[in-house]
Structures are given as structure tokens and as C-alpha cells.
Structure 1
């Protein structure tokens, strides 16, 4: 790590209490190349006999592992996090905080509720109670800064069993300020907690849930295979012993394949997938071979699997359907396809960006397999083959889109006028992700190899998150809480943050 980057991080850490409404940082065992924020939330309300109430929301994040071949299998990680309701009156009461002189910080502790109320804390998905959840959080206390009702939480993630509240806690003093839910030091857990772990063959370059059924998870891998998982058919902590490390995609090891559907049409590594919001169970995938495949999976959930693979362990058996022919196959780009996005309010229009420096608009109803619009960000850059890494569509105005290239340049485009492009250069290195906010109009978050995440408002940078030490691989907006983001980095960190804009 460069000295300038270390200095920037030191300055950021010192000033972070003044920059964020709330901030949670966690460290994973392996970095995650992609993350996805699920839209569902639960809001438990804990109330004790002295009428103490505390409201917060359970959220779920999809993460992955990237061990770079060290582990024989990678993993899909379904995790849980808690976002606080800062409007709660309890945050304005200093009696609910303990001061730590050594660090000049405060810890927040809760009065002990009845045991019957704590069952909500271990039921994240209705109908799927978690009896043996693995907590990703350490025994480190939650650190909270009280300045202007801001929260700053720092924790390190380790693998340890969640500690359940025991029956004898019912008889403890109601005035004692502790709540033992997930950590042995009796503090409420505010960091990531592991709900489910699913083994995966190969690197997970992209992970996304199906909007019509959030229990369906799609992944894009380094082998080019697209995998679909129904997480409800998997145990919460599936462990498979792999004695055969041969992961040839043409000879899938029946002992370790845990996906429900395999989509095999790409000849090289796949970096992008996207579900259609308007047409149920329709998935688009792109690959380094320059192709885009459109898959209609609606019938696959009604008919029995065509081709089965099952584990040798009788405790875990999975049936996997293998599909080789997509509904539509597009030879999209001369080089690799880096990003694809469906137009949010249309069931047939698709945007793609590629290694050839061109952004294309596709209509899958067109049998000619030709783009209806091509966006050239710059003729000179196309000749130099400057890749377009990212593309996203404005959810409030679907004629507008943004692309990011390997030079750190952002391009604001309009489908109605593809020849007029406004470019803004902010990142010093390649852009890795660009996402429009689902709640804030004309607001965009972009991540970069320069280890920063920048928030743009009306095409102007308004906030820079400098908390990561290495390249930021992905950033997403919270779909259910305005202004909250999650970002992951090659430094193994995952940050949940709400900036002051």
C-alpha cells in the first residue's frame, strides 16, 4: 500500500465521525468481488417492563469469497446486519451509554428484554428459523460516536457460534444494561452475522438475487458458467468435503455441485449478469467472449430437472438442471462484455458496455441481433481500446445512463441524443462500479481501483468515501433505507455507511 493511500486513510479515520450519520466496518476472511443488498427487512421492537423501547431494522446482504484458488471451493454468504433508527429517543439519553476514557468513545448497551421478544432476532426470513447460525462478529464492543446523533461502529469478523439467550436471564435485573444475543460480552451485535453459507465452484465475479423471488441467487463465475441457487433448498451451513479438486466445467464433480440450474453458453469468463424487472425469471449474462445470452428460466421452476447431479452424502442431495442453449444469443462486442443492464421499466431493452469502448442498446425483439443504438464515448478512446467497465440506468428517467471506463472517466449519456456525451473525470484509476440511487434523484455512487467511492449529485461530486485501503470491487445502495450504501474491497473489508450529504 502506498504511503499517500495510508495517509489518506489515517485522515479519513480521524474525521469519520463528522462525515457520516452512521458507519459500520467489518473485515472478512476473504475479499468479496461482489455484493447485493436484499430488499426485505424486519423491524423487531424490543420492550421491557420499564417501557424501554428500541427499534432497529434487520437487513440482509449477499456476499461471496475470493480465495484466488487457495480454497478448493468458494462460498456464497448470506449475511445479516442491523441498521439503527436514529430518531429513537434512546439515542438522546446519555444514561444508555457507557464512556470509555481510554479511547474517548461511548458504547451503547440495552436493558434486558423478555426472552419471548428475542425470538425475532433469530428469525430473519419468515418461516425459516435459524437454530445454528454462525456469527461473523467478534466479541468487540460496538463503538458509537454521539456527536449530532451519529453512529460509528467498528468490528472484526471471525467465525464463532452465536450465543443464544439462556432462560436464567429472565430473572436478571431489568436495570442491568446488557443484552446477550450474539457475543459473549453481552452487547447487541451491530456487525455482519452469517445466516447461510453455500459452497460454489470457481470464483464468484457477480452475485444477484432474483427480483421476483429473492431466495433465488444467480452467480457469474470465472469458468463462464452461470449458476442459479434456490437457497431454501440448502442448509444454513453446508459443508462438503471435496476430495477431487478437478473443477473442469465440462466434467462437473457430482460431489460438490450445489446449484439448482447451470447455464452454459459462454466460452470464457463471465463478469456480469442482470435480472429483468418486468419479465419474471429472465436473466441476461455477458462474457469475455463478447457474447450476451438471454435465459428464460420460468419453466425451469415448474418442470423436473433434465440432468441430475447429486452429492454422495445422503444428508445433502441436490438436483441440478443443465441448460446449454439460451433463448437469445447476441454476438454483442468485439471483445469482452463488462456490464449489462435491463431498462428498468421495459421488458425487452438492454444496455451493454464492453472492452471495445462502446456502449450499445439492444432490443431482444429484433431478430437481426444488431444494436438499435451505439454510444461512442470518444472516437479516440475507441481506437485506443479504452474499456467501458460499467453502465447503469437512471431509475427516475430511464433515458439517462452513466458509464465508467478504465481511465477513471464517467460519461453521462442520453438515449434520445446518443451523440452528445458529457464526461466527468474524478477517479484517478479505473472505475469498477457505478450505481444510481433508488431514492435520491440524479444521485450516483461510483467505486474505483483508487480505493474510493464517490457520490455524484447532478453530475457533480458531493462526497468521497476513503475508508478502504485497496481497490473497491463493488458498491450498492440500500433498497429500503434512503442514503445508505454498502461497499466491499480487496482489503477484505465491507463497509455499511450513511454519509452526510
Structure 2
């Protein structure tokens, strides 16, 4: 099935598959998307920050965009509203709030868990940039505009940092990897403490972030600083033999982290044990590794995604000092390189994967080995563990992020500008809860409302249809 045919079929199923979906055509491609803090809660919608990058063609500067997003609550959106969207339109649910003129492309965005108004960005240089988005002035991205001034520059890489970037869940630490084959660790708490001791600096009201050297308001104006402060690394870790593509902290320890790279290796590090690998899995995949994530609910489980189209799940208890150990499972549901993996914050066994095939798959490893119901319909058998496919993008899904404030809600971006008449596509979506809830609960609800749902003559027919749609 071709991409256009698959997309057309997917559109017809949107009212059945989704509780809510917002489609937003981007002016410029975005390489990264991240949820920020929740700003307001209301009866039917919540308002939340959203961080995006804009990768331009040089006619205007590259930017880091801070948007305000209205997130519709579960079971509020009407099916007819969900199904009526225009690929070439910009969603009213996503509104640009502030623009930061970024020095170079924004390759990766990561927010600080202790204060999600503070974000780190990677660009096409060795530096990692730290921004307090509340205190940064709003800028107009026009040709010739001067770059915004980062609140802090992290130095230490010897070559471009590119994509490997992570923030620690427990401490204000930043982790990065790059073309120099290094993994570099910084503490930005040291910087905050230093600035707090300097006279004449004040924080942005309510931000809890860095002291604000410019008094510019969000509505406009230029940052008056001419030079950003910079700090060197806390430690530098050597063990990869090629570009480090992704890094991730252990959710329960600021001292433990992992990295993957183009050398096909998964490396586990412990800062207390020095700057060399604790465990190095030499052949985590058969080719380049693009992404890694550490389970926030079970710190023994680590996911890796690769150019070999697969995702591997490792149990670190099975890995010895020599790095010998096979993945506990291989997930094969993509037809192209996997670009992003992320565990769900809502259920410990669920995770998402996105790839160059334009698909964002949702998996549950607890479903592996369970017998699938026979439907009698001619649909492909789903790979073990796969229970939902988001096929709303028509080119590679370069990034996605689960929403920790609104359960089962995901933002995803794709590089499909030629298909949409714009720069790419951003989608915010939430699958219908009948798909991920416990089967016994779903059957009870369907039985109670069977006379009102799709005019089905028999309730088990609807159950069969949903079972097939789950792995469309």
C-alpha cells in the first residue's frame, strides 16, 4: 500500500480511532517537539506550553518557538470535529506565543524536569544552549535580525553536538553526545548558584529560572546582552568509536546514564565509577543506533532504536561487565530506520516508536505472547506487542513526545512539507480509550451503550472492528 493510499484510508478511520486529533500545518520543518508546563486547567480544555523548532531555508532565521496549546480533555471532542481537518490548515488549538531567534538549526529540544521553563537545545555546533523561555524576549524572525542571546552556553564538545541531548529527572544536569564520540555532562545548578551571588541581577517574576539580565518583555524588543555566560563540563566520558546519536539518564539516579551511537553500541555509564563504560554492548543492533530511552517505571528496562528498522528492549540485569547480553525482545513493526523511542508516562509496559516510514507505533510488551482474538477479517497480523499505529503523517516522523499532564496524549512532527504545501506537519492526538483500556472494562461499557454505538446489531462485531483498527 502506497503512502497516499494508506493516508486516505487512515483519514476515514479517524473518528473511530481517536478521542481527539489536531492537525497543524507548519510553515517550516521542525526537527523537535516537546511539551512544556501546563498553564491553565478548564472544564473542557487545558492550556499548555509547546516547544518547537523551525528549520528555515535561510531567507529568515532559524527559531525556537514557544507556543500555547489548548489540549481538549478526554471524551469532549465530537467525532465529526475530529474527522474534519484540512492538511493545509493551521490548527486553532496551537498558537505561537514567543519566538527565539536561534543561532543555527534547532536539532533537539529538551526541558528541565525541575523547571520546564528552562530548555536545552542542540544546534549545528559543538555548544549546547540553555534558555529560560520566560525571561527571553519575543523576537521577530526577519532576515538580518540578530540572534537571541542564550542564558547559558555549555562548552566541552570538540565537534558538533547534533542530536544526543538529555536532562536529568533528579538533578539539574545536562547530558550530551556528538560527532567527537564523547558523552559530556554538565551541572547547570553551579551556574545558577554563581549568578545568584552577583549583585544587580533579578529573576523573571514567577519563573524560578535564571536571573534575567535583560528587562525585555515577552511582547518584543531585543536582548541587550552582548555575550552569554558559558561553563565547561563536569565530566567527559570516552568509550564510543563513532558519533554518539542519543543519550539518556537513569530515571532514579543522576549518576547513571546510557548512550548509543553509529558504532552500533549501547553503553551504560556510572559517574561514580569513573569516565569509562560500566557496560558496553558492542552489537546492540547490526547497524547505527539512533535513539535510546530508559523506562521511568522500571529502571532495568532500556529501549534502543536503529537504522535496521527495529527496536530492542534490554534488561540491564542481563548485561555483564563485558557487555554480553541479548535483548529480551526485538520489536519489528517499521519499514524504515527508527528515529525516536519513548516510554509512556501513563503505563510502565507501553512505549512509542517513530520512523522514516511515516508511522508512529504504540507498543505494550505485556501483550507479547497473548493470544489474539480471531476476527475473520483480512488484515495483516500485527507484530507481537503492537496495538496501535498512528498513520497521520506522510513522511518520516522525526520526533514525538508523550504528554505527562494529559494521559495518552502525544505530539508528533513529520517532514512532509511537499505533501502538505507547507514545511511539515505537527499533530496532537489521543487514541480512543477503548483501545488501551482493560478488555473487561471495555466490554462492560460497550454492552451498556451498545444500542447507541455505530448502530451495531451485535456488540461483539464492534469489538472485532476495534481489534482490527488497533493495528491499522
Tell me the TM-score normalized by structure 1: 0.71
Pairing 1:58–2:42 present: no
For residues 472-487 of structure 1, the aligned pairs below 5 Å read 472-487=397-412
**Contact 1:205/1:222 (CA < 8 Å) preserved in 2?**
yes
For 2:83 and 2:361, the matched residues in 1 are separated by: 20
Partner of 2:23: 25
- Aligned partner of 2:392 in structure 1 is 467
Give deviations 1:386-408, integer Å, cap 9, x for gaps. Answer: 11111111111110111011011
Matched, 1:365 2:272: yes
Residue 365 of structure 1 aligns to a residue whose secondary structure is helix
Match of 1:35 in 2: 33
What's the offset of the Cα at 1:272? 1.7
1:72 deviation in Å?
Answer: 5.0
Which residue in 1 is equivalent to 2:451? none
Contact in 2 for aligned 1:79/1:193 (Cα 8 Å): yes
C-alpha distance in 2 between matches for 1:348 and 1:430: 30
Correspondence 1:414 to 2:315: yes
Q: Is the 8 A contact 1:223 1:268 kept in 2?
A: yes
Alignment pair present for 1:193 and 2:85: no
State the partner residue of 2:176.
Answer: 285
Map 1:36-185 onto structure 2 (within 5 A).
Answer: 36-45=34-43, 55-67=44-56, 69-71=57-59, 73-87=61-75, 144-146=78-80, 151-152=82-83, 154=85
Q: Is 1:202 paired with 2:94?
A: no
List aligned pairs for 1:273-352, cutoff 5 A. Answer: 273-279=165-171, 281-304=172-195, 315-318=222-225, 320-323=227-230, 325-352=232-259
Q: Distance in 2 between matches of 1:39 and 1:85?
A: 16
Distance in 2 separating the partners of 1:359 and 1:415: 11
- Deviation at residue 432 of structure 1 after TM alignment: 0.5
Deviation at 1:243, TM superposition (A): 4.0
The answer on whether the counterparts of 2:11 and 2:83 sit within 8 Å (CA) in structure 1 is no
2:317 aligns to what SS in structure 1? coil
Q: Are the aligned partners of 1:24 and 1:153 in contact in 2 as well (CA < 8 Å)?
A: no
Residue equivalent to 1:393: 294
Q: Distance in 1 between matches of 2:239 and 2:107?
A: 20
CA–CA distance in structure 1, aligned partners of residues 113 and 182 of structure 2? 24
Deviations 1:237-257 (A, max 9, x none): 31266649xxxxxxxxxx424
Q: Give the count of matched residue pairs.
A: 383
Structure 1 unmatched ranges of 5 or more: 46-54, 92-143, 160-188, 245-254
Q: Residue 8 of structure 1 aligns with which residue? A: 6
The runs of 5 or more residues in structure 2 that have no matched partner are 199-212, 215-219, 320-324, 369-384, 417-423, 436-472
For the 8 Å contact 2:409–2:429, the answer to whether it is kept is yes
8 Å Cα contact 2:60/2:141 also seen in 1: no
- Equivalent position of 1:247 in the other structure: none
1:347 deviates by: 1.5
Partners of 1:154 and 1:473 in 2: CA distance: 22
| TM-score normalised by structure 2 residue count | 0.75
CA contact (8 A) 1:362 1:372 kept: yes
Q: For the structure 1 residues 157 and 230, does the alpha-carbon distance in structure 2 shift closer, same or farther, using more than 3 Å as the test?
A: farther
Q: Which residue of structure 2 aligns with residue 172 of structure 1?
A: none
Which residue is 1:434 aligned to?
Answer: 341
Deviations 1:60-83 (A, max 9, x none): 21101012x424521111112222
Corresponding residue of 1:256? 147
How has the CA–CA distance of structure 1 residues 496 and 303 changed in structure 2, closer, same or farther, with 3 Å as cutoff? same
Aligned 8 A contact 1:25 1:191 in 2: no
Structure showing the higher helix proportion among its residues: 2
- Give distance in 2, aligned partners of 1:293 and 1:224: 11
RMSD: 2.7
> Tell me, what secondary structure is at the counterpart of 2:41?
coil
Distance in structure 2 (CA, Å) of the matches to 1:228 and 1:193: 23
Q: 1:454 aligns with which of 358, 361, 382?
A: 361
Look up the match of 2:164. 272
The question of whether the paired residues in 2 share the 8 Å contact of 1:24 and 1:152 is answered with no
CA deviation map 1:73-115 (0-9, x unaligned) = 2111111222223456xx7xxxxxxxxxxxxxxxxxxxxxxxx
**Segment of structure 1 superposing worse, 217-226 or 355-364:** 217-226
